[in-house]
Structure 1
């Protein structure tokens, strides 16, 4: 039997791989290897020089390339801000493109979880109207950090209190420059990913409203396989088993 693809998980702003622990454990139990690393823009000592492009290159160098060098098939799962650097990191690494170049392995599909779909040369800041939401705390420009306020209400509103408190304790400061710099050319626009794009739409989301998620998909100009979740911004915490089922269904389809 062929081995299952590796599920590469890219966290969103202020998040770390620890927020994916429950999801990763369930995926591992189903036979899916997982890979995830904290983005350089999270809890960085140099926030004013940390960029979206830097996050993208880190994902390529530290997460994806070690897997493709080993000939692994990959499902790339990105959350929230992670859709911007993650989408760019996928550029040129689709299984179709690598096969055409005589290389093994590659990304067989992309799954966006309430994530930003950032076109080339567009920043997250631009996608949110050129201003930070009132729940985003901004340090002085010289400090260069952002941090979320009202985390239970905004990020974890359907997560049980005990679990939400653990998640809140793991949230870290984030580079303001990273969310304000432009993304590089995204992989999702490439022919190799068409028919292999899925979006987990979160209907109770107080961070990225469902209508905003719809606009992101519509403005991308490509077709997304939409999976409707009646959850907050964090279904990997509130409904990890359902998310595993979605990932499993898509991974099996894309592996054919």
Structure 2
């Protein structure tokens, strides 16, 4: 299954009534980058591209470029919403220098306020989804992960 921003049309339309929104097509889930046809007509009969398949790291590079523009160049505040494998890519892209607290300490405006993980694993930088299972998962269940301070907030209009 290939995900595209079109899957989130209702959510994106709602968010756009109050906020500017960027919803890029990630290379790892784009059939045009995986030699699997198009979003409208995917095929799994084609071999992988000679250059290899795009990875979460490829997605993270794209997201970091967007953060560079929004945070560094424009001084905007950003909340990232990550779905599925985008959780790992978003975590990798949200480098320390993009975080609000780091930028504020340097007298800079803007920054990443947080990442909303939507039906995905919250993966620490350098970690993997598989670390969330087995003994590791049992050890952290119900506790903050070393790389995350878990907050639950409800935002009402």
- Cα deviation digits, residues 213-241 of structure 1 (max 9, x gap): xx6774723332347xxxxxxxxxxxxxx
Distance 1:110 1:38 in 2: 18
Preserved contact between residue 28 and residue 53 of structure 2 (Cα < 8 Å): no
Task: Give 2:149's match in structure 1, choosing from 202, 217, 223.
Answer: 223
Preserved contact between residue 79 and residue 113 of structure 1 (Cα < 8 Å): yes
Distance 1:114 1:217 in 2: 17
* TM-score of the aligned structures, taking structure 2 as reference length: 0.70
- In structure 2, what is the equivalent of residue 53 of structure 1? 57
Preserved contact between residue 75 and residue 110 of structure 2 (Cα < 8 Å): yes
Aligned alpha-carbon RMSD (Å) = 2.8
- In structure 1, what is the equivalent of residue 91 of structure 2? 87
- Cα deviation digits, residues 158-177 of structure 1 (max 9, x gap): xxxxxxxxxxxxxxxxxxxx
SS of the aligned residue for 2:28 comes to coil
Task: Give 2:16's match in structure 1, choosing from 28, 41, 45.
Answer: 28
After TM superposition, the structure 1 = structure 2 runs for residues 71-220 of structure 1, keeping only pairs within 5 Å, are 71-92=75-96, 93-124=98-129, 126-127=130-131, 218=143, 220=145
Preserved contact between residue 117 and residue 220 of structure 1 (Cα < 8 Å): no
Distance 2:141 2:88 in 1: 12
- In structure 1, what is the equivalent of residue 7 of structure 2? 19
Q: 1:216 to 1:98 in 2, by over 3 A?
A: farther
Task: Give 1:67's match in structure 2, choosing from 53, 65, 70.
Answer: 70
Q: 1:128 to 1:223 in 2, by over 3 A?
A: closer
Runs of 5+ unmatched residues, structure 1 = 1-12, 130-211, 228-245
SS of the aligned residue for 1:36 comes to coil
Deviation at 1:17, TM superposition (A): 1.1
Distance 2:22 2:16 in 1: 11
- Which one has more relative contact order, counting CA pairs under 8 Å at least 6 apart? 1
- In structure 2, what is the equivalent of residue 7 of structure 1? none
Distance 1:117 1:84 in 2: 7
Runs of 5+ unmatched residues, structure 2 = 35-48
Q: What is the number of residues matched between the two proteins?
A: 132
* TM-score of the aligned structures, taking structure 1 as reference length: 0.45
Preserved contact between residue 91 and residue 124 of structure 2 (Cα < 8 Å): no
